[in-house]
A and B are shown apart, each in its own frame.
Chain A
Amino acid sequence: MNRAANANRRLLSALLGLCLVGAVACGEDDPEATDTSNSTSNSTSNSTSNSTSNGTSNSTSNSTTPDGLTCESACEMLAMCDPIGNECPDVVASGIETDCATECAANPGIILGAVESLGECAEYAPILADRLGAGEMCMFGDCMPAASDYSPGVEDEWPECISDDGQYNQIEMVISSIGRVGAFEEMAPLLWENPNTPTADDFLDARELYAVDEGLDSRVQRREDEHYPKVSDGNGGTLSCRDAGVPEMDPKRCVGPALILPVINDAFQKGAMGEDPEVNAARLEAALLWFFYVSSYKEATTCTGTKKDCDSAWAYYTGGEPRDSGYGLAKELQRSSKWAHERVWDGILAVRCWRDLDSGDEAMDLDTRDRALSQMDKALLYGVSRMIEDRLLAMSVSTGTEREAYWAWLQIMGPVLDRELMERDSAIATSLAAFFASDSVTDEDITAAVQSLRGVFTCP
């Protein structure tokens, strides 16, 4: 998928989705909202055609939602938050207001992030809700961190700890996971951010980056998903996914070798043979983002016994970058939801805070660990759901190879939420599983899927 070329289209689709689908999310008691929902597909297609027919070559700055919201106007509204400064720290800290127009043009997620951040500015929410569409504000207006969550620099239930400065304080000097995320970033311009169709050599170059010693491949092969229990040997003991035959016994636990690796191998192989380059590039991006998500949670979990794994949890999410930046999963997630990114950061800092308070070789305070892990994972899952929404909406306004690439990406990332969906709402989980397993989907299907996701993942 050519992200640079598609940025404008995604901005447009995100804004459309924000207004149209968002209205649905809080509209169950609002007949009008339901009606709006029904017109979603029409509006979407209209918007697309309008944009095209009007010949708006710079659709970024001139893109509008059907209700007339522009990126600039969204920024203006964000600027309204500025006077309250400390009460709206995320908006101020993100620097959105300083160069808002440029940011908006480059990244549709900025709008979403800004709006979500305004969720903290409760008094401004109604104003913006009117202008931006009720949906987003309905979603975030009441969405505040849980009382048990860790929030750096804010009065919370957590004792003072090393994370209170809002920065991630490394345990070890060297964090190898940063290099792996760096390799992902080097692969991006060759494949999924390539302005041209990736060539066979691009795939080989990318695979070379992927396959280096101690690189991405080495970790994909051994990755286990700590959301699932260890593989049982049937005699009360456990098995390791690195041993022969074990991944096949429990693919969900042995997610790396059993589920992610086959996708990557297949995509590299087909891409190098010139088969569906955009699609296979998208599959690689999705598979590696999945790996980063699983890895971040895994490392935070195993930090219980190996302190330096906390560093890896942070690195697999951020690529070693500070809060207002980010590579890999953090970069992608920010594009879709700045608010989710902020909450993931807080979650990671919660993990680091726990390990600071519980600093022995083997952690003992497992209750605090579980609180931190839960906070982090909840935010990550929300962020992933927003990434999926973002792609769904982008897919809905795309055609041809581009649409296929989006769908390939979604068919890999969509099922990542399956476990959590099943816990929260098994009916929706089943429905979405069927959706992502489909060979082709309609815009109505997409809208329904977005609604489902928003219905479940309501708050990071």
Chain B
Amino acid sequence: MDRIFSAPLRIQLLISLLLCAMSPAASAQDPSPPEDPSEPLEGEDEEEDDKEEGEDGEEDEDEGDEETELIEGEEDYSVDVIGERLTNPGRAKTRVERKDIEIRLPRSAPDALRYEPGVYVQQTAQSQASPYIRGRTGQQTVLLFDEVRLNNSLFRSGPNQYFFTIDSRTIDHIDVMRGSASTRYASDAIAGVINAVPIEPTMDPKEDGLRLTSRGMFRYATADNETGGRVQLDAQYGPRLGFIGGFGYRSIGRLESGGIVYSPRDGSIPEVPRFEDDDRTQLGTGFDEITSDGRFVYRLTPKQRLVLAAYDYRQRDAPRTDKCPPPEAPFNECLKYDEQDRTVVYARAEGDFGEWAKWGRLTLSFQRQHERRTSERPLSFTINGGRDDVNTFGVALQSETRRFKLAPSVEGLLRYGADGYHDRVSSQAWLIFTDLDITRIRSRGQYIEGSTYSWGGAFSEGELLLWEQLVLRAGGRASVIRAQADQDVESGTERVDRTWSALVGNAGVEWWATDWMTLLGNVDQGYRAPNLDDLTSRQQTGPGFQFENANLEPERSMTLESGVQLFSRYLELDAWVYRSTLDQAIARAQRRAEECPPNTTACNSSRSLFQLVNLDGQAVIWGAEGGAKLVLPHGFSLRATVSYAWGDGPNPGDRPDDPNLNFEERVPLSRIPPLNGTVEGLWRSAYGYYVGFGYRWATLQDRLAISDESDARIPFGGTPGFSVFDVRAGYRYDPYFLVSAVFENVTDEAYRYHGSSVNGPARGLILNLEVGY
């Protein structure tokens, strides 16, 4: 399929965006630039505020004072911070701010997480990326957009691309919470939660007319010839109604890498990815992207507001790199996501609704995830196609009471909520003979047409503050989940009608030991009920063909973690150790051809066959991670992170009959990231200039699961280590102008994140320009 934008059209669009952004008519006001350039700029003021809040946005001592004020009923509960109220106090977490994104210039929302401790971003395609948190990803992490769940019942067991379907240009910040968290976030919160929070309209309570401001963003990258941009309108009408919205697009070409990443064991060249003749430019990369969004905010009262928002993401012609072409296949065979769309629409009421809902939020949401794939073999005139849609209707209530004084030096509050989501699935598959122009519809798609998946639950968490230095927390959740799918006789698909219920809990302690040190400990349970992907899907995955298991049971996790946080004027440090256990873990077990479902030739013909099973025993992941930030005089700062995870579990294979054959009782868990870390340095002038660097490194990962051994994304013997150095520079003249650049991969390293199909970008330049009024 042709790219949706031709080159001339792309240029026209760029020019249009530029004109639109620079149009004086776009602004009803004429803000004057600061008369004195030496005056601190608006963004810098914000930055100072950010520093006071702490890097990861946690409540600090000042916030504690604010809470005290709340008790006294003197608070001014500004609606502008309503979105910030949802916190996960006492947990291991970090935040990626908008200003970080503007400096790092990530290629996607997941790419923005590469500098977060405990997070490792795998890429099966240039148009896909899946963040691993503490060694788990996909179904075992919860992805949120403004607290609306992106997770649905079609999320795959391995890495998935769905966090990529968030336009990073609409993100204000991304919160990453590590560790099990099903009490708050329900099913799937085995290893962590990622919440992307969008930008808000600028709201001036004193505005009494129409205010319009616009912004244009333009971007170019050399490694993949990326060109794109966004136009954005920020408007306010009167003191109550605000709007922010925009349109964006990107056209991205094939990604040039630093070269081939060789097998660490024998130096062989991996089958994935395949390259053009230059041995640098990767086949199966490149895509187009269109985004649009709109967000209305209406202030009911100074302490309450309504939000109506819609975000639409459309990706076109995005090849899956490890299947475009597949290993050993002809050069022109390709699996491509012709369409990958996500639409999220939600309405929300939030604010202060009284002392039992001092902060409350009710959200009604609708989400549509759409995929259309084609696997084309031009040499034999065939196209295998598939389409999967899932519509998700959701409702979520979250609330927090005011802080009550229970006894002298004892205060408490309660967080509680209820939520429910309902998925309805449509799925179809077909085969086209292009030489005959004949299409044959298959009896079932990757999933079963008309499948449904519903879940609901309620949670409550209590918090006690003792003697103003010890915080105790505990909570629990009850959930019910139901999965239904019809039988398909022709393909031998069993009917699914399963219901599970789950009870989980958590507890934590936080001791503000000194003014500069906090010690934390948590125990939190996670669970994940099998979803429709586990129960009904048949698909070619990276390691091989995977077929369904309608008899799976939920997996359950428990995270024990302990952390220390240090705060001083110059140093912030956050370090954690953890141990997560996973019972009845759902994992891929190798299968024989005779175990394939009937009438599934694709199963019989696949090199490796897998079925998801509950492991009989306990899987364990333990590790350590942390970050430190050094704030130095004269605008210098330095930040470093390091992460390590180690995981193993029961061998999912059957013990061979022959006792002489080697059989390991426990084997590594799949795609656990290697020891890795980052270093960032930055110097910012008072005049808006900045210069910095980013450095990422990882060691060899050669602890491979059985399924990893057959995964073409992993070089023979493991993924080699790497170190990549970027230089960053830019100039900000708020709110009118921002130019930022990254000279990436200075040493032109050939590198790959473990489990990825795509090698990292070659040495090149990323330029970002923003202009606005």
A interface residues with partner B (beta carbon < 8 Å): 173-176, 178-180, 182-183, 186, 204, 207-209, 211-218, 220-222, 242-244, 257, 261, 264-265, 268-269, 272-273, 320, 361
Contacts and interface: CB of A to CB of B under 8 A. Distances in A.
B659 to A, nearest CB: 16
Closest 5 CB pairs of A and B: A179-B604, A179-B605, A215-B605, A213-B602, A212-B602
Nearest to A180: B605
Interface string B373-402: 001010111101000000000000000000
A209 B603 CA distance: 12
Given A222-B330, A272-B433, A174 B379 contact: no
B30 interface: no
A449 B440 CA distance: 43
A244 B331 contact: yes
B435 A265 contact: yes
B518 interface: no
Given A174-B606, A242-B325, A257-B330, 12 more contacts: A174-B609, A176-B607, A176-B608, A183-B601, A208-B440, A216-B605, A242-B328, A243-B331, A257-B379, A265-B380, A269-B435, A272-B438
A250 B210 CA distance: 72
7 contacts: A173-B590, A183-B605, A211-B377, A213-B540, A213-B545, A218-B377, A242-B325
Contacts of A213: 375, 384, 540, 545, 602, 605-606
B545 A217 contact: no
A1 B606 CA distance: 30
A345 to B, nearest CB: 21
Contacts, number: 115
Contact of B380 (A174, A217, A243, A273): A217
Contacts of B605: 176, 179-180, 182-183, 212-216, 218
A273 B591 CA distance: 39
Interface in B551-597: 590-593, 596
Nearest to A243: B331
Given A214-B545, A242-B330, A178 B593 contact: yes
A178 B606 CA distance: 9
Given A180-B605, A217-B382, A174 B330 contact: no
B53 interface: no
A174 B591 contact: yes
A221 B333 contact: yes
B593 to A, nearest CB: 6
B86 interface: no
Contacts of B410: none
B19 interface: no
B177 to A, nearest CB: 38
Given A174-B592, A174-B593, A213-B375, A204 B601 contact: no
B329 A261 contact: no
B608 A211 contact: no
Contact of A179 (B377, B381, B435, B603): B603
Interface hub of B266, B375, B591, B602 (most chain A Cβ within 10 A):
B602
B601 A215 contact: yes
Interface hub of A173, A211, A243 (most chain B Cβ within 10 A):
A211
A250 to B, nearest CB: 15
A204 B433 contact: yes
Contacts of A268: 433
Interface hub of B381, B431, B605, B606 (most chain A Cβ within 10 A):
B605
Nearest to B435: A269
B332 interface: yes
A220 B382 CA distance: 14
A209 B333 CA distance: 18
A268 B590 CA distance: 34
Given A208-B440, A221-B377, A265-B381, A214 B606 contact: yes
B9 interface: no
B335 to A, nearest CB: 9
A214 B438 CA distance: 21
B436 interface: yes
A62 B596 CA distance: 44
Given A211-B382, A211-B384, A273 B604 contact: no
B293 to A, nearest CB: 36
Nearest to B432: A211
A419 B653 CA distance: 45
Nearest to B325: A242
A155 B382 CA distance: 51
B606 A211 contact: no
A212 B329 CA distance: 14
A264 B596 CA distance: 27
Contacts of A320: 593
Interface in B412-447: 431, 433, 435-436, 438, 440
Contacts of A273: 436
A174 to B, nearest CB: 5
A117 B608 CA distance: 39
Interface in B181-211: none
Contacts of A265: 379-381, 435
A218 B604 CA distance: 13
A314 to B, nearest CB: 14
B607 A214 contact: yes
B329 A242 contact: yes
Contacts of B375: 213
A221 B435 CA distance: 17
A211 B431 contact: yes
A207 B592 CA distance: 25
B431 A222 contact: no
Contacts of B379: 221, 257, 261, 265
A274 B606 CA distance: 32
Interface string B313-328: 0000000000001101
Given A173-B592, A174-B593, A179-B593, A222 B328 contact: yes
A421 to B, nearest CB: 29
